[in-house]
Amino acid sequence: MGSADTLSRIGLAGLAVMGQNLALNIAEKGFPISVYNRTTSKVDETVERARQEGNLPVRGFHDPRSFVLSIQKPRVIIVLVKAGAPVDQTIQTLSVHMEKGDCVIDGGNEWYENTERREKAMSELSLLYLGMGVSGGEEGARHGPSLMPGGSFEAYKNIEDILLKVAAQVPDSGPCVTYIGKGGSGNFVKMVHNGIEYGDMQLIAEAYDVLKSIGKLSNSELHDVFAEWNQGELLSFLIEITADIFSIKDDKGDGYLVDKVLDKTGMKGTGKWTVQQAAELSVAAPTIAASLDSRFLSGLKEERVNAANVFKHGGLSGILSNQFVDKRKLIDDVRQALYASKICSYAQGMNLIRAKSIEKGWDLKLGELARIWKGGCIIRAVFLDRIKKAYDRNPYLANLLIDPEFSKEILDRQAAWRRVVSLAINSGITTPGMCASLAYFDTYRRGRLPANLVQSQRDYFGAHTYERIDASGAFHTEWFKLAKKSKM
Ligand code: 2AM
């Protein structure tokens, strides 16, 4: 049990997996930390871990008052409890002991508006508030996460030295943390990061499906393919762990573990929020939406098994078993399709962030976001460096697709990309993320769309008016009357 004789530099409340690991990380970087948790056994557990992991300066407290008083002023307390009401309850418990200028940092995956509400309520008590996205899972929290703090700039400055050391360090690009912006911007950016993560995982799963179902690659071949991809432009944490997954044998039976895992994907809500926000802001995010829909459909396991039975005589299994595929070519095509699809997915996520930034006046720096995602977090990838450079070249870039480098990369890969998607469609294998990305690209790159017809229909039945390509203003036509006349 700690005493308040020597003050800690910072405090952390909420000692589940992420909290415990982040506390140890902070202590390891030389910042004495006080820790607290509602269930006190976790406090003792954390202190014991700190002792075992090298006598790290972690002091545990069983009551909130002595915990708060053990921290040097202005006090900074990171809260890592379940998002929603538990955060409010924890703030309530702690804030009664806090004083003017002290700060709470919520490190959970919180809905950004909750952060804005809390920041306002805290400022009425002269307390500061930050909502900080933390990505990297257990390992990242312990050894260097990507941190996305938003809210009070003054509060950020109070702990910038800690965050710069605690965050993942990437050679040539620095610590994976930056002050994101005002209000709930840190949470919002973390939310979109998670949406992009959904997209990445879906696209990888589709690459796997095409290679396995059409290319007939074994797990061992899949391991080799992903390991090889991880040496090039696709180098990333998710590709690396995917390669690993294909090498793990089932410890409860024959074969590989991945084949025994039920094909049902769980979710906690940030992907859904991302798609909801995209719709709210009228930003197209079809790849991220496709990844969310795929999770929904994956959940209908029983219905799918039933449907598979209904359609089992549809002839597709014949296509799959009889078609000739050049494995090497397919592997190379899929790599290119994956990369091109990924560019489209990031373009969507970045444009969503920009739209919100404009709406809220957050002035977010997209290149900086790409930089702090280069290490620590789940979507970390060399690819992010290319995104950063694109925004360095032009911070006002309307869409990543038209950046000179990315547009060239897309053009170089489009033939392979189209081959993979067509092959998948003709084989009855679903590649919704790749299809959504391709449709996004094909829609975005066309100077004229069939939207003229939709607008004509709207004016026909609803007198919604239309604009003309050759004159300004709003026009309305009595389509029905003209059509009737022309039929006479
Ligand atoms: P616990 O160990 O006491 O359950 C993840 O669940 C973390 O959130 C845990 O540290 C958990 O504390 C904490 N938590 C969940 N609900 C809480 C609440 N209402 N008040 C305080 N902490 C809470």
For 398-437, the pLDDT digits (tens) are 999 999 999 999 999 999 999 999 999 999 999 999 999 9
Residues 178 and 320 in one domain: no
Residues 32 and 142 in one domain: yes
Question: Residue 321 — pLDDT band, cuts 50, 70, 90?
Answer: low
Q: CB atoms < 10 A from the CB of 138, how many? A: 13
- Could you tell which of 17, 21, 38, 93 is best to mutate to test the pocket of ligand 1, judged by most ligand atoms within 8 Å of the CB? 38
Hey, what are 28's tokens?
A: 């390891």
This prediction's pTM: 0.96
* In 109-265, beta strands by DSSP E: 128-135, 146-151, 169-170, 174-175
Residues 284 and 362 in one domain: yes
Question: Residue 2 — pLDDT band, cuts 50, 70, 90?
Answer: very low
Q: How far is the CA of 267 from the centre of ligand 1 (A)?
A: 20
Q: How far is the CA of 1 from the centre of ligand 1 (A)?
A: 20
Closest of 440, 439, 433 to residue 199, by C-alpha: 433
Q: How far is the CA of 81 from the centre of ligand 1 (A)?
A: 5
Please say if the pLDDT value at position 1 is more than 60: no
Tell me which residue has its CA closest to atom 10 in ligand 1.
14
- Could you tell which of 17, 67, 82 is best to mutate to test the pocket of ligand 1, judged by most ligand atoms within 8 Å of the CB? 82
Please tell me the distance from the alpha carbon of residue 278 to that of residue 270, in angstroms, as a whole number. Answer: 12
- Could you tell which of 37, 87, 110 is best to mutate to test the pocket of ligand 1, judged by most ligand atoms within 8 Å of the CB? 37
Tell me which residue has its CA closest to atom 19 in ligand 1.
86
Hey, what are 105's tokens?
A: 């940092």
Q: How far is the CA of 146 from the centre of ligand 1 (A)?
A: 23
My answer on whether omega of the bond before 74 falls inside 30° of 0, hence cis, is yes
Please tell me the distance from the alpha carbon of residue 241 to that of residue 221, in angstroms, as a whole number. Answer: 15
Residues 179 and 199 in one domain: no
- Which one from 197, 212, 374, 409 is the annotated catalytic residue? 197
Please say if the pLDDT value at position 231 is more than 50: yes
- Catalytic residue at 28? no
Residue 151's domain spans which residues?
A: 10-183
Q: How far is the CA of 153 from the centre of ligand 1 (A)?
A: 28
Look at residue 4 and tell me if it is in a domain: no
Contacts with 13 (C-beta within 8 Å, 6 or more apart), sequence order: 19, 35, 36, 37, 64, 67, 77, 78, 79, 80, 81, 90, 94
Look at residue 2 and tell me if it is in a domain: no
3-state SS assignment for residue 13: strand
CB 210, CB 355: distance < 8 Å: no
Look at residue 385 and tell me if it is in a domain: yes
Core vs surface per residue 169-207: b (16+ CB within 10 A) or e = ebeeebbbbbbbbbbbbbbbbbbbbbbbbbbbbbbbbbb
Residues 302 and 372 in one domain: yes
Residues 260 and 150 in one domain: no
Look at residue 5 and tell me if it is in a domain: no
Last residue of a domain, one of 155, 183, 211: 183
Nearest atom of ligand 1 to the alpha carbon of 81: 8
The mean per-residue pLDDT over the stretch 272-296 comes to 98
Please say if the pLDDT value at position 351 is more than 80: yes
pLDDT tens-digit readout, 107-162:
999 999 999 999 999 999 999 999 999 999 999 999 999 999 999 999 999 999 99
CATH of the domain at 463: 1.20.5.320
Question: Using the 8-state DSSP alphabet, how is residue 257 labeled?
Answer: G
Please tell me the distance from the alpha carbon of residue 23 to that of residue 19, in angstroms, as a whole number. Answer: 6
pLDDT tens-digit readout, 355-407:
999 999 999 999 999 999 999 999 999 999 999 999 999 999 999 999 999 99
Closest of 151, 140, 184 to residue 372, by C-alpha: 140
Residues 206 and 352 in one domain: yes
Question: Using the 8-state DSSP alphabet, how is residue 173 labeled?
Answer: T
3-state SS assignment for residue 79: strand
Nearest atom of ligand 1 to the alpha carbon of 85: 19
Please say if the pLDDT value at position 318 is more than 80: no
Closest of 356, 384, 390, 355 to residue 370, by C-alpha: 384
Q: CB atoms < 10 A from the CB of 114, how many? A: 19
Residues 156 and 57 in one domain: yes
Please say if the pLDDT value at position 26 is more than 50: yes
- Catalytic residue at 190? yes
Q: How far is the CA of 300 from the centre of ligand 1 (A)?
A: 31
Give residue for tokens 């993560």: 197
Q: What is the pLDDT of residue 317?
A: 62
Closest of 328, 38, 351, 369 to residue 190, by C-alpha: 369
Q: Which residues line ligand 1 (CB under 6 A)?
A: 14-16, 37-39, 42, 81-82, 86, 89-90
Q: What is the pLDDT of residue 488?
A: 83
CATH of the domain at 147: 3.40.50.720
Residues 29 and 132 in one domain: yes
CB 347, CB 401: distance < 8 Å: yes
- If phi > 0 it is left, if psi is from -120 to 50 it is alpha, else beta; for residue 136 that is left
Q: What is the pLDDT of residue 323?
A: 77
Nearest atom of ligand 1 to the alpha carbon of 39: 3
Alpha-carbon torsion 78, 84, 87, 88, what sign? positive
DSSP sequence for 351-407: HHHHHHHHHHT----HHHHHHHTSSSSTT-BTHHHHHHHHHHH-TT-S-GGGSHHHH
Residues 467 and 402 in one domain: no
Look at residue 37 and tell me if it is in a domain: yes
Axis crossing angle, helix 404-427 with helix 327-360, rounded to the nearest 10: 120
Nearest atom of ligand 1 to the alpha carbon of 38: 3
Residues 364 and 222 in one domain: yes
Q: Name the domain count of the chain.
A: 3
Residues 387 and 317 in one domain: yes
DSSP sequence for 118-156: HHHHHHHTT-EEEEEEEESHHHHHHH--EEEEEE-HHHH
Give residue for tokens 């309520």: 121
Tell me which residue has its CA closest to atom 4 in ligand 1.
39
- Which one from 42, 182, 190, 342 is the annotated catalytic residue? 190
Tell me which residue has its CA closest to atom 20 in ligand 1.
86
